[in-house]
Chain A
């Protein structure tokens, strides 16, 4: 069996080589060099090499897509068309061997091409890295005398000492980010008050199961009166440039309130009026007195702004979330009073719970120069001493922060490391928007075991968007070239899976239909994040361009005199154009603290069965992009061998499933019909 698969793979390999697929290698290297040279000017010390690595891997991914989809999808239909398959399947081979041989052959072709491009790319990266060390040293000499926070210069010093080609092992926090606050004496206040901070996702929750609200609400409109304590608005230090500008009218403090049944959370988009108004939640202005009054209507009452409908089923809780302008909001036992339709009253005597947002991965902490200050806490459960590099006197702590400050603002931040014995070490630094920050932690202070990091912004109007991996311990990794090779291996696995998809679909359909099918599967899978986060109208608008391009491609492909290369060129060019226009016609946006999404001017009707499409088509699709190397690879993150092995096994399993499916399809096909 293996011998026959090998024979078929060898033929597929020779096919690729004699079709001169290797001619794609020099242009690919040239493209990656040009793309890197003409990309926006990155900081040559910290971002030159990562940008070159990213561009290299991106170009290789495109190569993998082209070879994986176009060539693999061509393999079996071309043999059907030329009837070569007659001579193959009349030999003692199983359909599975035919399909496996094709996939393996394509994979070998791809491996050779990626290896060739990879060697060229690495040569370019070496060129890009040369001179960085001396540049860092010059910059360090210049910056050191003027540095406000010397900790900021550690990263520069590291580059000056050992160059930019370094790899790291990143250790993520085992818990966090958790929101807490540095309250200060003024805000510790009486013990019977609980506080929540605006924009942290923390909210008050009053369970309403034991109250008469449900019964009263079915009889007529009720009111909920919530007595909240409010902090004074923090003093703002105007930015120098903004001092003479017209002062902005301050926004009134707002809270969101909802009668939410278990499993349901606030929908911020809905509250902003983007998706229609929900019946069980709304935003309310908070008067200076802190007395919030909410009207509750029966479940079947029409949805009205500022009125919450009591849920038709389930036992709700009143949840209150402080929005950005509200600052610090407090509540105590007895803060919630329910007033029935006939004026009857019920006081909820219990202390409100303070709970976190459900299913919320990203948190935001607001910057404040005065107390109370929000903090994000990251906990590293137990870092084994043997994981730490031997001989070094300090470890690097990497940050990936979405800093949301005005460009002119020289933001300040503080990170405090806390040992289990209470020992603390604080470092001040200047965070840069969307850039990584690297600080160093002395080995004398900590040498393994549990560790807590508390991060806070000290600048008004500056926010941090944080993910669990935003604060990491960064320890030394392996050789850079080997790490780069691991990235290429991942691209190869990705291309192999794509090739298997291409071969699978082409066992039943013509080359053109096969390419369309494989391309649609590829696009749906690759655009999963967009599709899952974008509006139906946006998808339809973007999809229209793709469909238009595919129709034109189809018309072009009817020109039977065309050989393979013009066909591939036409389809690839049109898909590229479709992608360009698709994105140009829509808006791809990424708010600082949200995921990428597509937005579109509202000219497309909303009749698309979006929910069905997403739930039945997009979500079940395997995420083939999972095989691609992680973005952080370009930043020097060492890919653990175990991760590579797991990716390999996953790709092998996926390919095997695709091969078996392809074999079933091929075996039941009349190849000479």
Chain B
């Protein structure tokens, strides 16, 4: 029997009520959604659009007011579902009195990993997210926000999940960390993982997602493949190198001669993110651990996210 769809919702609705049971907020209204195995799905929307509510419903942290949601064919929140699931909350909601090592070890225990496997996994994940030996034995209360995001990511990956729910994964990360997080997401996809991420940072979503859904005031306004949604069908863009001024004029005149309207013809600009990464990496500002590539023990893995304040 084939594995059920990782995520499926049908008319999923959530209404928050006040103490007296009166409807207060319609956070999500009739969401119909299906996420395929191995894809990266992005939930986009402004603050309060229902992104986090959707993720909480899929985790079983809250219960739907109407409709239903299923994860791998089961009701959300059951131990069987959670066994295959990794969750990175918007902020790192972790025990602040535990050290980094203890945190990953604790979550490894919850997944029933045997001690030897747990020790190995803890070391690998802490290496992957770039927490050095000194940081691993400090309590989380002493961590910077970037370090907290890293340890949060490590705990989300401790069970090598089939489905990852990432709530604002790049929140609090600096551009290097953001890029590395995106690389990691793409790497996880290459391993066949299914990823649902929510963000209001459009560029991040555009860079990594296969499909997106746009939520606004609890309703799904748009759903489709990123490429299809962004495609401007009546405009043609040509990018080339080694074009001389004469050749440029020839191309433009040919286009006009064929009846086309030239909207712009200029040198493209790079993104600020690309510029920043080039400058910073040229100065070797990235710590060695954070530049390490590859999944635990494998070559070619993505780089880990870097903290926002470079405090690691």
Given the interface pairs A18-B139, A89-B60, A673-B62, the reply to whether A94 lies near B79 with Cβ below 8 Å is: yes
Q: A565 vs B142: C-alpha distance in the bound complex, in angstroms? A: 20
**Of B94-102, B212-220, B222-230, B256-264, which binds chain A?**
B94-102
**Of B85-93, B191-199, B275-283, which binds chain A?**
B85-93
Q: B137 — which chain A residues lie within 8 A by C-beta?
A: none
User: Cβ of A84 < 8 Å from any Cβ of B?
Assistant: yes
Q: How far is the CB of B88 from chain A (nearest CB, A)?
A: 9
Q: A92 — which chain B residues lie within 8 A by C-beta?
A: 79-80, 82-83, 110-112
Given the interface pairs A670-B61, A670-B62, A673-B16, the reply to whether A88 lies near B110 with Cβ below 8 Å is: yes
Q: How far is the CB of A515 from chain B (nearest CB, A)?
A: 20
Q: Are B106 and A10 in contact (CB under 8 A)?
A: yes
Q: Are B94 and A91 in contact (CB under 8 A)?
A: no
Q: Which residue of B lies closest to A93 (CB)?
A: B110
Choice from B59, B63, B110, B155 contacting A7 with Cβ under 8 Å: B110
Q: Are A87 and B107 in contact (CB under 8 A)?
A: yes
User: Cβ of B292 < 8 Å from any Cβ of A?
Assistant: no
Q: Are B94 and A84 in contact (CB under 8 A)?
A: yes
User: Cβ of A14 < 8 Å from any Cβ of B?
Assistant: yes
Q: A303 vs B209: C-alpha distance in the bound complex, in angstroms? A: 90
Q: Are B102 and A4 in contact (CB under 8 A)?
A: no
Q: A85 — which chain B residues lie within 8 A by C-beta?
A: 93
Q: A88 vs B98: C-alpha distance in the bound complex, in angstroms? A: 14
Q: Are B77 and A84 in contact (CB under 8 A)?
A: no
Q: B96 — which chain A residues lie within 8 A by C-beta?
A: 82
Q: A232 vs B83: C-alpha distance in the bound complex, in angstroms? A: 89
Q: A11 vs B110: C-alpha distance in the bound complex, in angstroms? A: 11
Q: Is the interface of A mostly helix, strand, loop or mixed?
A: helix
Q: A671 vs B57: C-alpha distance in the bound complex, in angstroms? A: 11
Q: A18 vs B98: C-alpha distance in the bound complex, in angstroms? A: 9
Q: Are B61 and A4 in contact (CB under 8 A)?
A: no
Q: Are A90 and B82 in contact (CB under 8 A)?
A: yes
Q: Are A6 and B139 in contact (CB under 8 A)?
A: no
Given the interface pairs A86-B61, A90-B59, the reply to whether A15 lies near B89 with Cβ below 8 Å is: no
Q: A424 vs B83: C-alpha distance in the bound complex, in angstroms? A: 77
User: Cβ of B56 < 8 Å from any Cβ of A?
Assistant: yes
Name the interface size band of chain A. 20 to 34
Q: How far is the CB of B164 from chain A (nearest CB, A)?
A: 12
Q: How far is the CB of A84 from chain B (nearest CB, A)?
A: 5
Give B253-273 as 1s and 0s: 1 = Cβ < 8 Å from A's Cβ atoms: 000000000000000000000
User: Cβ of A3 < 8 Å from any Cβ of B?
Assistant: yes
Q: Are B93 and A83 in contact (CB under 8 A)?
A: yes
Give A94-127 as 1s and 0s: 1 = Cβ < 8 Å from B's Cβ atoms: 1000000000000000000000000000000000
User: Cβ of B120 < 8 Å from any Cβ of A?
Assistant: no
User: Cβ of B248 < 8 Å from any Cβ of A?
Assistant: no
Q: Are B110 and A672 in contact (CB under 8 A)?
A: no
Q: B83 — which chain A residues lie within 8 A by C-beta?
A: 92
Q: A26 vs B19: C-alpha distance in the bound complex, in angstroms? A: 44
Choice from A82, A91, A671 contacting B110 with Cβ under 8 Å: A91
Q: A671 vs B102: C-alpha distance in the bound complex, in angstroms? A: 24
Q: Are B87 and A11 in contact (CB under 8 A)?
A: no
Q: Are A7 and B79 in contact (CB under 8 A)?
A: no
Q: Are A82 and B93 in contact (CB under 8 A)?
A: yes
User: Cβ of B133 < 8 Å from any Cβ of A?
Assistant: no
User: Cβ of A576 < 8 Å from any Cβ of B?
Assistant: no
Q: Are A19 and B110 in contact (CB under 8 A)?
A: no
Q: A7 vs B93: C-alpha distance in the bound complex, in angstroms? A: 17
User: Cβ of B119 < 8 Å from any Cβ of A?
Assistant: no
Q: Are B112 and A3 in contact (CB under 8 A)?
A: yes
Give B1-41 as 1s and 0s: 1 = Cβ < 8 Å from A's Cβ atoms: 00000000000000010000000000000000000000000
User: Which of A19, A84, A89, A91 is packed against the most chain B CB atoms within 10 Å?
Assistant: A91
Q: Are B106 and A672 in contact (CB under 8 A)?
A: no
Q: B91 — which chain A residues lie within 8 A by C-beta?
A: 83
Q: Are A84 and B109 in contact (CB under 8 A)?
A: no
Q: Are A4 and B97 in contact (CB under 8 A)?
A: no
Q: A10 vs B95: C-alpha distance in the bound complex, in angstroms? A: 12
Q: Are B97 and A14 in contact (CB under 8 A)?
A: yes
Choice from A14, A82, A89 contacting B102 with Cβ under 8 Å: A14
Q: Which residue of B lies closest to A18 (CB)?
A: B97
Q: B111 — which chain A residues lie within 8 A by C-beta?
A: 91-92
Q: Are B77 and A89 in contact (CB under 8 A)?
A: yes
Q: How far is the CB of B70 from chain A (nearest CB, A)?
A: 16
In B37-78, the 8 Å CB interface with A consists of: 56, 59-63, 77
Given the interface pairs A11-B98, A14-B98, A82-B93, the reply to whether A87 lies near B155 with Cβ below 8 Å is: yes
Q: Are A672 and B56 in contact (CB under 8 A)?
A: yes
Chain B residues with CB under 8 Å of chain A are: 16, 56, 59-63, 77, 79-80, 82-83, 85, 87, 89, 91, 93-98, 102, 106-107, 109-112, 139, 152, 155
In order of increasing CB-CB distance, the 7 nearest A-B pairs are A7-B109, A672-B61, A92-B79, A83-B93, A91-B110, A18-B97, A92-B83
Chain A residues with CB under 8 Å of chain B are: 3-4, 6-8, 10-11, 14-15, 18-19, 82-94, 670-673
